[in-house]
Structure formats: C-alpha cells, structure tokens
C-alpha cells in the first residue's frame, strides 16, 4: 500500500477487496491500531471536530466508530 487517504463518514460502511498480498490485512491492522506506524503515517479519527490519533482514543470511543469483521467468521451449533 502506498499513499492512501481514506475519509469515511459516521455510519458509512465499506468493503475492502483485492488480490492476495495487496495489503488488505495490513490496512485493517492499521485501522485496528495493531500495526505500529511511523510519525509520517497516522490514522486519525475525528472526534468533536478534532483529529485525534487512534492511539490516543479510548477503547470505548474507538469501538463506537470502528467495527471489523473477518471474512471467515467462526460459527458454532446452538
């Protein structure tokens, strides 16, 4: 992935598709704050008109705006 700018609005849903190895998982890891990014690469969330790095947002606030779903969910009988 190179030079990605993505703006999503509250309530908007997206689907991320691409070939194997194209960087989908890398982008999702960055969105989930599981991937350390250097100072030039930051993921920011808009909270009350202020852009805040996701690393500085509480887990509750983060979960209120971001949801990730794996392509192969685990389902059990029941």
pLDDT category at 73 given cuts 50, 70, 90 is low
- Dist. CA 53–CA 5, nearest whole Å: 15
Check residue 39 and give its pLDDT.
Answer: 61
Tokens of 26: 């890398």
In this predicted model, what pLDDT tens digit does every residue of 9-51 receive, in sequence order?
767 777 888 888 888 888 877 777 677 766 656 777 777 778 7
Check residue 29 and give its pLDDT.
Answer: 79
Residue pair 25/35 in contact (Cβ under 8 Å)? The answer is: no
- Listed in sequence order, the residues at least 6 apart from 42 whose beta carbon sits closer than 8 Å to its beta carbon are 53
46: part of which helix (H) or strand (E)? strand 44-47
What's the predicted TM-score (pTM) here? 0.52
Check residue 57 and give its pLDDT.
Answer: 76
């Amino acid at each position: 992935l190179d030079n990605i700018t993505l703006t999503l609005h509250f309530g908007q849903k997206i689907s991320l598709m691409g070939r194997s190895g194209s960087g989908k998982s890398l982008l999702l890891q960055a969105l989930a704050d599981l991937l350390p990014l250097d100072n030039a690469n930051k993921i920011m969330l808009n909270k009350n008109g202020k852009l805040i790095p996701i690393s500085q947002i509480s887990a509750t606030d983060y979960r209120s705006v971001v949801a990730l779903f794996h392509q192969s969910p685990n389902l059990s009988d029941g």
